[in-house]
Chains A and B, each alone.
Chain A
Amino acid sequence: MLIQGRVRSDVTLTKLPILYRRFTGTKTRGRTVMETTASKLAVQNLRKSFRSQRSEGSIQVFEGISFEVHPSEFISLVGPSGCGKTTFLRILDGLIPHDDGEILLDGKTVIKPGPDKGFVFQDSSLLPWRTVMDNIILGLELQGVDKREARKKAERYIALVGLAGFEHHYPHELSGGMQQRVNLARALIVDPQVLLMDEPFASLDAQTREIMQAELLKMWNQTKKTVIFVTHQIEEAIYLSDRVVVFSARPARIREIVKVAIPRPRSLSVKRSKEFLDLADHVWGIIQEEVLKSMGREREEGVW
């Protein structure tokens, strides 16, 4: 085409029906598996590889990932950068397919995205032509809920994330922290079974991030959602979570699942306690090891 230089992405409607069919499943693989444990979300032996662009063959992103998440548990995923944490979260949501293994949410196989999972995006990804209110009701609207009814319901969530008075503002009139609050409310309003959060505070400044962490815990306490939280910040992971899942370098496996026994409610001052710092040191040690390992491997492969 003539103006191809300006093309930002290659979204075409041609792909959509195919993707849609894949996710809604004309060939549905969905089968109910009776779970004996009371886990909310179970990941069994998950594997994912991407086709390599440079050479023949494929790049293994992760393999053999298995763990279980209890109802109302707060789980964080950390790991060296590029280990595929975000890819993993997208697979949990059903946004991209995986190669092997199974994801069970309430005993049902996850094959497509849907309102049973709430995804909080790293960049807030708010629709710029919609007000705060209309951004928040997007999920309900897509389910066919009446707009007036949805707006009424949204008021509760606007209050929950502390955005009262900003209902009719547009995203560009909000600060980064406020945009992420909208992002969070948008995921919460569909009342998902599990909340998947992809480094939601990564682009915020340090102070805003601390405040948002404390607020997130408050909201989590009120809603009792099961949360899977991807971050590259070890302190953030420990402060928020019941357990921290530490990924290894690529191809990622679970190195360790660290239990955080610090009692709740946690104030921000917890971050300076000895217990907290010891945990952080421990997790940091694992990740450092992994980073060095992957750097060594890259040197051997001549990448570095």
Chain B
Amino acid sequence: MKSAAKKEPLVPAWLRSSRMIGACSVIVGIGIWQLAYEGLARTHYFKDYAIHHFLSSPLQVILTFGELYRSGELLRHSYFSFLEFAYGFLLAIVVGIPIGFIMATLKKINYYLDPWVSCLYATPLVALAPIIMVWFGLGIVPNSLVVFLGAVFPILLNTYTGIKSVRENLVEVVRAFGGSPLQLFFKVMIPDATPAIITGIRLAVGRAVISVVVAELFGAEAGLGFMVYFYSQRFLPGPVFVGIVVLVVFGILSFLALEKIQGWLSPWYAYQLRREARGMEME
């Protein structure tokens, strides 16, 4: 009788990592999409119509990508979208973190700002974008402003929570050594709040990408959101999908990059999360 240990597993080891399984899942999904397209194109329903006005296949998306890239159109749109994203996002970081700090440390100012922040956070961006277009016209500035409004609140609120939840026992250590408030701020509060702030920035990336598209749907002369809208109006799904794929890839890459930065800035944080997940307190 063969022992169980000697049996060759059905799936080899290098294919069983979570990353490989994820990659396989995506590849299979794209394959199903391609097959479904091919199948639908041969059905009775689509016989008399040009299916490429309604649907696109992964292969066509790749071909369209090549065309748009060569013509320079894709780069132009990406460039505009990226500028809007970068301006709005950086402004959100530059404004959100200090305001979060101030709200967490100065109670009186928090009383004044809190209702405004709560209201603006609850306001749907989609409802706000048109009026910003009315005020500022078309272009990079109003769109960046929409991105800023979309991204600033996760950053601000996470900074606030991060500072508020600085561990009292660590604060006490600095006090016990006779540290000054400034030392306390730089040596304990900022480092202890850093993971929360970066989490806020990571959440903001997703919202900023959405905001770029929202802003460009309402009015723009260029940009990936504009491109998506433009071609969908002309029944050309190929470029629409290209735009979507570029946006998705950009979102995922920035999210992963920030995850790396978080791990690099606060290597202890991942450990703390694991401890807390196991139901133990770090303290």
Tell me the minimal C-beta distance from B271 to chain A in angstroms. Answer: 4
Given contacts A1-B160, A10-B164, A114-B178, contact A128 B282 (CB under 8 A): yes
**Chain A positions 1 through 36: 1 when the CB is less than 8 Å from some CB of chain B, otherwise 0:** 111001111111110110110010000000000000
CA distance A196 to B191 in the complex (A): 27
> Would you call B110 an interface residue if the criterion is a C-beta within 8 Å of the partner chain's C-beta atoms?
yes
- Does residue A125 face the partner (Cβ distance < 8 Å to B)? yes
Cα of A170 to Cα of B272 in the assembled complex, Å:
12
B161 adjacent to A127 (CB under 8 Å): no
Give A145 to B6 CA distance when docked, in angstroms. Answer: 63
The answer to whether B121 and A20 touch across the interface, beta carbons within 8 angstroms, is: no
Taking residues whose C-beta sits less than 8 angstroms from the other chain, chain A's interface range is: 35 or more
Chain A residue at minimal CB-CB distance from B274: A172
- Asked if B175 contacts A113 (CB within 8 A), the reply is yes
Given contacts A2-B118, A3-B157, A129-B266, contact A20 B181 (CB under 8 A): yes
- Assess the B268–A2 pair: CB atoms within 8 A: no
Interface residue from A17, A114, A125 paired with B173 (Cβ < 8 Å): A125
B169, A128: Cβ atoms closer than 8 Å? no
B179 within 8 A of A: yes
Query: 1/0 per position for B154-166, CB-CB distance to A under 8 A?
Result: 0001001100111
A190 interfacial by beta-carbon distance below 8 Å: yes
- Report the separation of the CA atoms of residues A115 and B179 in the bound assembly, to the nearest whole angstrom: 10
Which one of A19, A125, A172 lies within 8 Å of B268 (CB-CB)? A172
Are B104 and A12 in contact (CB-based, < 8 A)? yes
User: Does A95 contact B161, Cβ atoms closer than 8 Å?
Assistant: no
Residues 198-242 of chain B: 1 if any A CB is under 8 Å from the residue's CB, otherwise 0? Answer: 000000000000000000000000000000000000000000000
Q: Does A142 interact with chain B (Cβ within 8 Å)?
A: yes
In the bound complex, how far is the Cα of B177 from the Cα of A112, in angstroms? 10
Residues 142-168 (chain A) with a chain B CB within 8 angstroms: 142-143
Q: In the complex the two chains form, is A127's CB within 8 Å of B191's CB?
A: yes
Residues on B with beta carbons closer than 8 Å to the beta carbon of A143: 177-178
Segment among B10-18, B123-131, B182-190 that sits at the interface with chain A: B182-190
- CB-CB under 8 A from A79, the residues of chain B are none
Q: Is A102 engaged at the interface, CB distance under 8 Å to the other chain?
A: no
Closest residue to A123 on the B side, CB-wise?
Answer: B283
**At the interface, is chain B mostly helix, strand, loop or mixed?**
helix
B167 & A9 in contact (Cβ 8 Å cutoff): yes
A11-B173 in contact (CB<8A): no
* Chain B 82-119 interface residues, beta-carbon cutoff 8 Å to A: 103-108, 110, 114, 117-118
With CB as the reference atom, state the residue of chain B lying closest to A138. Answer: B177
- Min C-beta distance of A133 to chain B, whole Å: 15
Q: Are B191 and A129 in contact (CB under 8 A)?
A: yes
- Closest partner residue, chain B, to A113 (CB atom): B176
| Chain B CB within 10 Å, residue with most, of A17, A95, A141, A142 | A142
Q: Across the interface, do A11 and B168 meet the contact criterion of CB distance under 8 Å?
A: yes
Give chain A residues whose Cβ lies under 8 Å from the Cβ of B176: 93, 95, 113, 117, 119, 121
Q: Is the CB of B157 within 8 A of A2?
A: yes
The reply to whether B166 and A9 contact each other, CB–CB distance below 8 Å, is yes
Least CB distance, B193 to chain A, in whole angstroms: 11
Assembled-state Cα–Cα distance A247/B149 (Å): 59
Rounded to whole angstroms, the CA-CA distance of A121 and B187 in the bound complex is 18
Instruction: Tell me if B43 counts as interface (CB < 8 A to partner A).
Output: no
Cβ of A200 < 8 Å from any Cβ of B?
no
Q: Is B137 an interface residue (CB 8 A)?
A: no
Residues on the B chain within 8 Å of A14, using CB:
105-108
Is B172's CB under 8 angstroms from A121's CB?
Answer: yes
Residues in A with CB closer than 8 Å to B107 are 12, 14
Q: B165 near A123 (CB under 8 angstroms)?
A: no
Contact call B177/A171, Cβ cutoff below 8 A: no
The docked-state distance in angstroms from the alpha carbon of A6 to that of B107 is 18
Of chain B, the residue at the smallest CB distance from A120 is B176
**How far apart are the CA atoms of A115 and B176 in the complex, in Å?**
8
Q: Hey, which chain B residues are within 8 Å of A129, CB to CB? A: 191-192, 194, 266-268
> Please, how many angstroms separate the alpha-carbon atoms of A11 and B162 in the complex?
11
Quick one: closest B residue to A16, CB to CB?
Answer: B181
Taking beta carbons and an 8 Å cutoff, which residues of A are in contact with B?
1-3, 6-14, 16-17, 19-20, 23, 93, 95, 112-115, 117, 119, 121, 123, 125, 127-129, 138-139, 141-143, 170-172, 190
A-B contact pairs, 19 of them (CB 8 A): A1-B110, A6-B165, A7-B161, A8-B165, A8-B167, A9-B164, A14-B107, A20-B180, A23-B178, A93-B176, A113-B176, A123-B169, A127-B170, A127-B191, A128-B271, A129-B194, A129-B267, A142-B174, A172-B268
* Beyond A8-B168, A115-B177, 15 extra complex contacts between A and B, CB < 8 Å: A2-B117, A6-B165, A11-B164, A13-B105, A13-B181, A14-B107, A16-B184, A17-B181, A23-B175, A114-B178, A121-B172, A125-B172, A127-B173, A139-B177, A142-B187
Which 6 residue pairs of A and B lie closest in terms of their CB atoms, listed nearest first? A13-B105, A128-B268, A114-B178, A16-B181, A9-B168, A8-B165
